[in-house]
Amino acid sequence: MHRRMTTGALAVALAGVLAVSACSSKSTESGSGSESGPSSAGSGLTIAPLAQIDTKGNEVQAAAESEALNPAGDGKANCPSTTIAMAGALTGADAALGINIRNGAQLAVDQHNKANPDCQIVLKTFDTEGDPQKATQVAPQIVNDDSIIGLIGPAFSGETKATGGVFNQAGLVSTTASATNPALTDNGWRTFFRGLANDDVQGPAVANYLTGKLGKKKVCVIKDDTEYGAGLARAITAGLGPAADENCSGDVKKGERDFSAVISKVTGEQPDAVFFAGYYSEGAPLAQQLKTAAPDVTFVSGDGTNDPQFTAQAGDSAKGAVLSCPCGPAKDQFKKDYEAAFKQAPGVYSVEAYDLATILMKGITDGQRTRPQLLEFVRNYQGPGLAREYQWTPKGELTSSLIWVYDVK
């Protein structure tokens, strides 16, 4: 049975952890995980895949690495130099997520170019800082560059919402490795393709896994004020049903670091778990403060937190956390290649970016070298990648979507 902390004890505990989180919440200078692996900050912790699940929370066997489309192809491709782009946060508080995507795409491009000297692909990157307003300034640069015939990005749901119409009007295929807000595919865009499951899939899958396999009976849902956080929290709450305790649901803001108010609500209700819908820059200090105030409550979060920067910034407080993601874990050979190229472990969305870049390059090597041609190629594409099978509905959603659950240990 969980014990309720007194107000005084809670205040003392939070005062100590806030001092720690104020220092440890800062990422590397670029805002990326470029110097950090899964055991960053001396925590010795790793984010390890636990199970792949369907929307009912049932475990599903993963596909074999050998079946995936290889960016190298047969090594006989012949094409003029062709450019694809990547857009996402490469600087800022959540830059590690964008850098994971850039690196995954770059690895695929490098492997293709090494194997195919007569068909060289250029990956041009654009930094949106994960900010919708900044992304609206970047989007015209991308569409006005006639050399760019395909895009991986934008990365976050908010910036995707702000720019999707621009890419749609330009007829530029936009394949996201990470934007999961379900409403994005309701905008009528004909050029948008989501490379992973949306939060309407992630929500019930994780909710059913929590209440079923993990036996959680009372969960507090806390969300940040982003498009992503709102969509995921809504889906998780609906999936949890009566297990979602409204008395301890809460809201936090991007950039916030003092979570004493929302944690007071949590400790007052004595839940089995807290689900945080947001990004690691807030998730890490929240996990720290929750661990101090209520050490027996399981911290659970989604793909926005599922990054080595979470363990780097949260330290030992991350131990025992459960993290979900529509993204797949790195397979053995991919992990070796990625670590050799970037001197760090692959992170969340790296595999999806690798797959999406490979699909775009497959279209190019097959002769689809204009924006309309490559768009049509992706629209009709079907085939296995490292993460999953890729085939899209007319709205741009995957025809088959599964979720991964990870634990921090």
pLDDT of 24 reads 26
Residue-wise pLDDT for 132-183, tens only, equals 999 999 999 999 999 999 999 999 999 999 999 999 999 999 999 999 999 9
User: Does some domain include residue 409?
Assistant: no
Q: Is residue 30 part of a domain?
A: yes
Q: Domain boundary at 292, 325, 358, which?
A: 325
Q: Are residues 91 and 186 in the same domain?
A: yes
Q: Do 240 and 130 belong together in one domain?
A: no
Are 268 and 157 contained in the same domain?
no
Q: Check whether residue 109 and residue 143 sit in a common domain.
A: yes
Domain boundary among the residues 325, 340, 355 is at 325
Report the number of distinct structural domains present in the chain: 2
Q: Could you tell me the CA-to-CA distances from 213 to 143, 234, 406 in Å, in that order?
A: 46, 21, 13
Q: Which residues of the chain have pLDDT under 50?
A: 1-42
CB 33, CB 27: distance < 8 Å: yes
Same domain, 207 and 319: yes
The pTM assigned to this predicted structure is 0.80
Tell me, what's the pLDDT at 43? 58
Q: CA-to-CA distance for 19 and 218, rounded, in angstroms?
A: 30
Q: What pLDDT does 136 receive?
A: 97
- Same domain flag for 100 and 29: no
From 325, 351, 377, the end of a domain falls on 325
Say whether both 107 and 163 belong to one domain: yes
| 320 shares a domain with 211 | yes
Q: Does residue 383 lie in a domain region?
A: yes
Domain containing residue 210: CATH number: 3.40.50.2300
Distance CA 353, CA 332 (A): 17
In 210-247, which positions are buried (b, 16+ CB within 10 angstroms) versus exposed (e)?
bbeebebebbbbbbbebbbbbbbbbbbbebbeebbbee
Contact (Cβ atoms closer than 8 angstroms) between residue 268 and residue 3: no
Which SS3 state, helix, strand or coil, does residue 267 take?
Answer: helix
- The range of the structural domain enclosing residue 21 comes to 7-59+200-325
How much of the chain is in helix, strand and coil states, percent to nearest 5? 45, 15, 40
Within 8 A by CB and 6+ apart from 214, the residues are 273, 298, 322
Same domain as 181, residue 139: yes
Domain assignment present for residue 406? The answer is: no
Distance (Å, rounded) from C-alpha 37 to C-alpha 20? 21
DSSP per residue over 113-158, as a string? Answer: HHH-TTS-EEEEEEE-TT-HHHHHHHHHHHHT-TTEEEEE---SHH
